[in-house]
Amino acid sequence: MDTRDDPLPDPRRRRLLQAAALGAGVALAGPGPLAHAAGETGSLARTRHGRVRGVREHGVHVFRGIRYGADTAPLRFRPPRPPRPWRGVAEATAYGAPAPQRHQAGSEDCLFLNVWTPGLRDGARRPVLVYIHGGGYDTGSGSDPVYDGTRLCRRGDVVVVTVNHRLNAFGYLYLGRLAGAPFAASGNAGQLDLVLALQWVREHAAEFGGDPDNVTVFGQSGGGAKIATLMAMPAARGLFHRAWTMSGQQVTAAGPRAATQRAQRLLEAAGLDPAAPDAVERLLALPAEAILEATAVRDFSRIEDTRLYFGPVMDGEVLPRHPFWPDAPPQSAHIPMVIGNTRDETRAFLGGDPENFTLDWDRLPERLEKQQYVDIRADLVVAHYRALYPHYTPSEVFFAATTAGRSWRGAVEELEARARQPAGAAPTWAYQLDWPSPVEGGRLRAFHTLDIPLVFDNVDKPGARAGDGEDAWRMAELMSQALLAFARHGDPNHAGLPHWEPYTLPRRQTLLFDLPPVLADDPRGAERAFWQQAPFVQRGTM
């Protein structure tokens, strides 16, 4: 913390900031990969809690690690609080700590966010895009290089925000039945962190050149699921105005009984007696590392080899209903929404096992039985896919069936729930990313997470796995322009796309993002109908 009142850095500090920005090497915006540029002089902004100093890179003001909430260690498993005001100027030139998580250094002092903006206090009222990271509810942070907001700022004249919040047991361990009223909201503490972050955005949007009345939340995988949950949370009402989700849905949430059973299992794994009157008190005294170690205990899910599940809890207060069941949340009916998925989702997380690429017809049913979420006889699944796609290999059937029955199913449920809303509700657009990534010889195709670098226009960032060729940049332009159009106008259409119609029943219009992009009615409709013979229950609900 810099406690001086001087609003401008002294020459020595300016040189240090320039050196730090040079090392960051953020790419310039524009079509295709561009050369890195040197950092520029610092930027100063005023928040309700104190002043913050960022840096100026490639014409964009960048603030990394702004504190939006107090240290959660003294508030473990309880709702977050705003930070205490500080004197002087807080440096916002380095990302804040991520939440505690397995296999990565983190801290319970993790309520930080990052801002990229073309202008400060200029009255421009730019659209604000708030990205909520994936990693399920267990891992991740807002500081991944692929989430860098520079290109979106320069391409669309928008403000971009990324955010950290509590995860796994620290954000979603439900103790309401075990410890009473002080912990009634513990199953949704991570969601309440996001509410606090969105309140911060509303309050400070104008300071950072944004429009508090035009906030778009977007997120992938767990980030999309967190957005779906926010749409049903009364505390989040009015904090955002558009929602864009990518391969992340939350149709149903855990009930209090199932969430309590998981809490009891974690207590036991931590060496504590759940029935002891001081069990939660002793849990509060444990080091974070011991709690993380206990989260590795086996879940009672029907899917093999899964750690203890953590996610939002329908606790009757913070989350009074399932997010998208039995209908789309009425409180969010006025919010335009985009719901997307990728054509080959499970190649991202099942493609790491070489055996899944060399399956034969004899081994396929057993492998499917372990990995499909819907409880349908695996041999019937195989027979259906062989009839639909007689040219598919056993491995292609494996990835297609696990994607449709496991990842895609929730997107269909949410889309149909939105399509059934009363007349006058805001439209919903559906997309499927079909463009195959060229990395690893193309074997991953349109895998889970591929749309992240495309919507951020960051295909050359570490971890993007989109390749760095002309086609990747063309796809990035198509998808990032759609996101920017949606944020600005509430409609994702732009000149590079065929007319993208909203999703309606029974047509189920879906934009297939590929080169070229194509609008299709009910793509993979025979797969959709097959899986709908069994009821959909999201993992972790029971």
d(CA 271, CA 253): 27
3-class DSSP assignment, residue 235: helix
d(CA 457, CA 481): 9
131, 246 contact by CB (below 8 A): no
d(CA 127, CA 159): 6
d(CA 474, CA 496): 10
Q: How many CB atoms lie within 10 A of CB 529?
A: 10
Residue 542: its pLDDT value, please? 82
Q: Of 456, 352, 448, 466, nearest to 408 (Cα)? A: 448
Residue 100 DSSP label: P
Residue 522: its pLDDT value, please? 98
Low pLDDT (below 50) residues in the chain: 1-39
Q: Of 483, 497, 514, 338, nearest to 411 (Cα)? A: 338
248, 323 contact by CB (below 8 A): no
Q: Strand 242-246 vs strand 210-220: parallel, antiparallel, or unpaired?
A: parallel
162, 287 contact by CB (below 8 A): no
**Cβ partners under 8 Å of residue 100, min gap 6:** 106, 107, 108, 110, 167, 168, 170, 288, 289, 291, 292
Q: Locate 73 and state its tokens.
A: 């260690």
DSSP symbols for 285-310: HS-HHHHHHHTTSBP--SSSS-BPP-
Q: Locate 125 and state its tokens.
A: 């009222």
Q: What stretch of H or E contains 268?
A: helix 256-269
DSSP symbols for 420-451: TSPTTPPPEEEEEE-PPP-GGGGTT-S-TTTH
d(CA 74, CA 78): 9
Task: Go through the domains of the chain in sequence order and give each one's CATH number.
Answer: 1-35+49-335 (3.40.50.1820), 345-450+464-531 (3.40.50.1820)
Which residue has tokens 């690429």? Answer: 357
d(CA 363, CA 234): 48
227, 219 contact by CB (below 8 A): yes
Q: Strand 112-117 vs strand 60-67: parallel, antiparallel, or unpaired?
A: antiparallel
Q: Locate 306 and state its tokens.
A: 């899964």
Amino acid at 56: R
Q: Provide the annotated active-site residues.
A: 221, 345, 448
Q: What value, to the nearest 5°, has the Cα angle with vertex 33 and ends 31 and 39? A: 105
Q: Catalogue the E-assigned strands of 264-418.
A: 337-342
